[in-house]
Amino acid sequence: MRRVEAAPKSPAQRAPRARPAEPPEAPAGVMTTFQRILIAIDGGEPAARAAAVGCSLAQALGAEVCLFHAIEPPPLGEAEDPPDAPAGERFFAPLLAQLPHTVQIFEFTHVGEPTKSIPWAAWEWSADLVVIGSHGRDGVMRAFLGSVAEAVVRHAQCPVLVVRAKAEA
């Protein structure tokens, strides 16, 4: 027969936990390093910083990188031709010129809302980590404009590293 004890009513009634001397080992089958890093980019400065951080991490870990760009679909009722391959290449070219050539980099674009497309792409590509830039807005600006990074953190099935834009002086 199992004995069930009532939980303490407040945090003050709980006994402090002793910290282990060493970090616990990862359970069998759990990945402890990142081998596939998806970096979400949109052409802005936060995305460029995220790409630099993600590629630096990939270089240190010997990981592959996927640069992923989600293209907002046109509003309903407006016809627009799908983006062609050369347009995608022109989008990635300036960023690729700034990144280390020692990292294997794949480039993908997808027409869809970034908040849904980025977690989908991470799952589809079997990414171990998503790296995404953030403007660092808060309060009314974040509520008004939304936060793609926040939505990705909530919906991605792998860890997400959010890289903030440089703080203004």
CA distances from 66 to 5, 39, 83, 102, 159 (A): 49, 6, 19, 14, 15
Taking Cα atoms as reference points, which of 45, 98, 88, 90 lies closest to residue 68?
88
Asked, for residue 118, whether it belongs to a domain, the answer is yes
CATH code where residue 140 lies: 3.40.50.620
Which range marks the domain in which residue 97 is found?
40-62+82-158
- Residue 10 inside a domain? The answer is no
What is the C-alpha to C-alpha distance for residues 42 and 134, in angstroms, rounded to an integer?
11
pLDDT in tens, the chain (169 residues): 333 333 334 334 444 444 444 444 555 665 558 999 999 998 888 899 999 999 999 999 999 999 999 988 877 766 666 555 555 667 788 888 888 888 889 999 998 999 999 999 999 999 999 999 987 666 555 544 458 888 999 999 999 999 987 755 4
Instruction: Report yes or no on 12 lying in a domain.
Output: no
113-139 per-residue burial string, b: 16 or more CB within 10 A, e: under 16: ebbebbbbbbeebebbbbbbbbbbeee
